[in-house]
Structure 1
C-alpha cells in the first residue's frame, strides 16, 4: 500500500537551473539503490525533472531564495517522488487539455500531461504546491 511508503532520500534545492542536475543525480542514486528497471528509470527521470522544472518556473518563479523540496519514498510495491515548491499553488483541474485542437501548436503546456502519462499514479496536494509521482516497481 502507498500508505506505508518510507522516506529514503530528500533534498532541498534552490530555484536555479543547476537544481535540475542535482535532482538528476538524486534520481540516479535512488534508482540504482532500488535496482529499478531501465525503462522505469527513463519514465522517472523525465517525469520528476519536469516536476522540478515546473516548480522552478511556475511555482517559485525562478526566485533563488525559494526552495524546492524533493523526497523519494519507497515500499515493496511503489516508489514515489514528491516535489514541493514555495509558490502560490494552482488548481490542476484548470490546466488546459494539451490535446485539444486549439492547444496542439502551443510551445508549452504539456508538462503535467507528460508526467501523468509516464507515472502509474500522480496527485497534487497543498493547493498544488506539492506533486506526488508514483511508479509501480
Structure 2
C-alpha cells in the first residue's frame, strides 16, 4: 500500500493544485483513462464541497487529500475541518421537488462515479474507492 497526500488552504482557486496532484498520482499509480475521468470529477467535487460546505471557505482551515493505492484499487480521502453533515439523510436530486434546485448533486454524482464511497468522522471525511482494472 503506497500513499501520498496534499494539504491546501480552503480557497476555490486551489482546485487547480488538486487537479495537478491527481495528474501526478495518475503517473505514479498508473491508472488508466477509463477511471481517470471519474476520479478527477469525483475528487475535485469532494474537495470543492470540503472548501465551501465543510470549511465555509475559511482560508485559515485546510483540506487534506490523501491517496492510497494497491494492486486492486486506489482510494482518495478528503478531509475538512468543519462540523460534518448528516450524510444519511441527503435529499434525492433526481426527485421532482429537487430537480430544478441548483445545488445538492455533488454527493449523488460522487456516489455514481466512485466504486465505493464511505463517510467518516460525522461527514468531515469522505473516502472514494476506485477499482483498478482487473
Q: Is the 8 A contact 1:7 1:71 kept in 2?
A: no
Match of 2:124 in 1: 129
Say if 2:4 is the partner of 1:33. Answer: no
Shift of 1:115: 0.3
Of 78, 81, 85 in structure 1, the residue corresponding to residue 76 of structure 2 is 81
Please give the secondary structure, in 1, of the residue aligned with 2:30.
Answer: coil
Q: Distance in 2 between matches of 1:17 and 1:41?
A: 21
1:71 lines up with 2:66 in the alignment? yes
Note if contact 1:12-1:68 (Cα within 8 Å) is conserved in structure 2.
Answer: yes
Runs of 4+ in 1 over 2 A off after TM superposition: none
1:25 CA displacement = 0.7
Question: 1:97 Cα shift?
Answer: 0.6
Larger helix share, 1 or 2: 1
Gaps of 5+ in 1: 1-5
User: Please, which of 46, 55, 58 is the counterpart of residue 60 of structure 1?
Assistant: 55
Residue 34 (structure 1) shift: 1.4
RMSD of aligned alpha carbons: 0.8
User: Structure 2-normalised TM-score?
Assistant: 0.96
How many positions carry a matched residue from both structures? 132
Distance apart, 1:19 and its partner CA: 1.5
- What SS does the aligned partner of 1:114 have? helix
Alignment gaps of 5+ in structure 2: none
